[in-house]
Amino acid sequence: MPDLHPDALNDEARLFLHVPTGRFRRLHLPALRDNLVAGAADGLLVLADMYPPHLARVLNPFTGDMLHFPAALPRHFTFTSVMKGGSHPTLVLLRWGSVFCAAPNSDLFTQTEEAVESYLVSIANFQGDVYCADGRGCVFKLVALAPAADQCDDDDDDDDDDDDDDDLLVIPAAAPPDVHVYTQEGDDDTKEGDDHSEMPSYLVESAGELLLVCSVDQTLKVFRVNVEHKLLEEVKSLGGRTLFLGQERCVSVDAAKLPSVDGDCIYMLDFENAPMSDSESVSMSDSEDMSVSDSRDKICVYNLRGDVVDIISSKDFCARPFSLVQVLLRYCDVLPKL
């Protein structure tokens, strides 16, 4: 897991965290001279060419191997993932509530078939497959209809009667057992808001399991996604692990390996709908003057054991030096822009 933002003194260096051990390592990456860091996916860096049209690349930062895509990265995308299958991987990203993908021989990113009429808010790679969650707490699985090298390639489909976007099929995988799922035909007062964020949902791989975190009745609930039986099973403990959730990506860490991180807790920015504990503010090691006037500066930690949230906030979330919690949240919630 990298710090996606450059060091102030070295634009080619990035700080990496080995999540299983909690060890940090700084790498010098010459490839960053001519490329922008656009995201991270499954231990790989998603890059864009420095100059328009910002062609996509996927870099293994530890071996230096780079896979070039003829497709340009679209703007305003969030979650990224790499779906491994066939002879080549496929780059998958979330943009405006829809899934887009490109293979190494694709000229552009194509939108998947709209088999699900909902606004997707999170994606995660789990056991080689890509799963998506929408704002209602439903989980979907992306199923490739062709080898990965061809599934997003439009060049070989000219004689096909099917639409060009029939390259991936999105099928429902699970829905929360105790969450009312609203449909498009529902009452107007139960439909999602215009920003599609009425019930935030997050997918994250944690210790070999796929978890869904969603807001239910002003609390955060965690579900284990049973991919075999297409069920969601509520869990009350993270097994000593900690989740960091953001608008761009999510990560699970072992709290025992990282100082100042509490186990069975969920860290995120600006969670306002959970019940507060008696003390709304807790001191942070590098925060002397705290302010919650700016909602995007609020760092929140939700404790699953008590279903309460504490707010730990620095005056300037982007001010260095960063605490460990800030580094992890910046990775999850701040996306470098093209």
* 3 state SS for 51-85: CCCCEEEEECCCCCCEEEEEEECCCCEEEEEEECC
Share of the chain above pLDDT 70, in %: 66
Q: Give the residue with greater pLDDT, 259 vs 288.
A: 259
pLDDT score recorded for residue 332: 87
Peptide bond into 53 cis (omega under 30): yes
What pLDDT band is residue 4 in, cutting at 50, 70 and 90? low
Average pLDDT of 114-128? Answer: 81
Average pLDDT of 173-197? Answer: 43
Distance CA(110)–CA(100), nearest Å, equals 5
Share of the chain above pLDDT 90, in %: 24
Q: Domain coordinates of the chain in residue numbers?
A: 75-235
What pLDDT band is residue 206 in, cutting at 50, 70 and 90? very high
Q: What are phi and psi of 306, to 5 degrees?
A: -120, 0
Output the average pLDDT for the chain: 75
Distance CA(211)–CA(174), nearest Å, equals 12
Q: pLDDT tens-digit profile of 39-93?
A: 887 788 999 998 999 999 999 999 999 999 999 998 878 777 776 655 667 898 8
Q: pLDDT tens-digit profile of 278-292?
A: 444 333 333 333 333
